[in-house]
Structure 1
């Protein structure tokens, strides 16, 4: 019993003692696998060196950017490839690494302008479990960069989160302050920027949720005119779902922007802006093809086939979709403005020719707009309101002007059944 008990303890200690060496081998395998798998159309990874030890290893990886990113870096006078030095520690449950940019003379000449005296302004801490999941924390040191007649300053940027072995990502970031100004008088000041996201990239489409918020933003131009925004939030989501009628996949897209207050150049204040725009039942194969073609066009490589782009767009429309703008609200000094719109494009049979008339015939929807009387006081709008009232589209109270309409194919229909051609109605509203 005694020998068995302490023999088991000794065996456990031996396993723990040997495990760093085992994880050292596994870490090397993980590293090589990640280098092979993480290359994308935007960048490639290449192992430069990997020196494995008992408790720690050192690696150097070369990152070479391609396509649009490469062109943008080159145009900005920045290197298009970088080396990352990694100090890798082997533990019982996994591996961790501290990663920094290798500061070449070329890169030092650039970074010392923004980070004088800081040899490692960008650092990535990475902890990888044996399951392949990783926790990461990226920090970019505060900087102040002055060139010619302009200056850009920023506080420390922090990005952290986790990524699993399937590439599903969770992330949060924060940037307490950002400011720009130049000698002409232009200024930008942003306070307390933060964001989060979770999801994965598939066929060029981001599947998941993302959010961005900022406490305050202040813009001013050369004439001294300024715009101030408070409490801004943006939420974006893409959800992959199965079609109810077919075996195909669909994408549901949601977007919502909210702004607490907007102080305009003329000392007017708008409040409580909320705009929610959803696009549902989007054909997934068409959307992924559009994303692929758009990426190729942005990279500036092989010429993009406009015929292929048109075919993908036609497929998207023929597969049917719905668009909702609801709510869309804003409080102005005269009162509350609200817009609610719902549009359906019915699924249609694929044909050799698809034109605008076919699309219009598949459209149906509802439109409701409410505007305070004091907003539409100028003569062009007063005349339009009278015409719309006579046609049955508009009703007016002592506070608001309300427009209500239904879209039925190529016609817009009032509540009393009066129909007007859709194109004519749109042209009347825009002119």
Structure 2
């Protein structure tokens, strides 16, 4: 395997990596960095937790450091788009650590924070801007920044951005960036719409794929526990009690459900917090900070935390509700077994979720071991009652017009 010293990176970045204890690149870094350093567009396919941030961040910072001068006011040299505030924050923190001591200005703009404060910071010009699409568009409409000088564009977790409806925002943003740019697109999956996005954004890209889509990390011990929906909270409390003091992330499908479960666990004596889209940015950051410090042992979250939550101490992931997007299962359980550690992921499956479970196993190409309960019978969707066939002679009866109305006049067809 290569060393970071041999990948053409700026010396100050290599020094920082060594200080952080990072000496050997991961496969996505080893394969991707040389192409990015040479200025090639890149399509990277890899799961979360494989080191994608360093794969695009280190070579991009290397090229920006070589500029040797500050960016002009309100301009942005490199733009990194991320689907969630949590992922944007993680990318910002990682790039800031990689570039510590280098003459580069790295900023983050996300929703839920003061847009006026963000506007003031952008006024001086930015080397690397990490943004969520919605907040970036807000700032562009306010003319707080311009993208006419942007030479690097990164779309991180692009498949999730498509899942949550950012495709139109991405297209609007891309039109404001010069066509002469270097573009890097990273995704865990490659649906058809992603192929179309890559074709329109990338020019003669290098394709790097380091793991089959949908494959979970090998160090995650997985299991499914069959349970009735109404018994899930009690079952979760039993699991949490078995592992006191260990960090656990609990995934819930809805914001309301997350808050309700959090209150219940609090009443039962667990140290717990929730994060989801209805929480303010300060609330989300306080919850994550307390969780990272171990002050809170249980984090209840929606899929905003399925990617971008990088806390090596997370020992357990509980899928309280199974995701209705099969690929999200792999992203969720990827919050554990990070930084070479082992982890455990337990899925709670209610009768109505049997179809979701089958879809997840199909996407992974593997069965999840049963560790509790008995598999439920598959719940078939209700079918509409069949209409009785028309019997007898004569024309088929026509439906009667609604009361108080009349049948619509026949359309005249012109020859």
TM-score by length of 1: 0.22
TM-score by length of 2: 0.23
Structure with the bigger percentage of helix: 2
Relative contact order, CA 8 A, sep 6+: which one is greater? 2
Structure with the bigger percentage of strand: 1
Higher Rg of the two aligned structures: 1
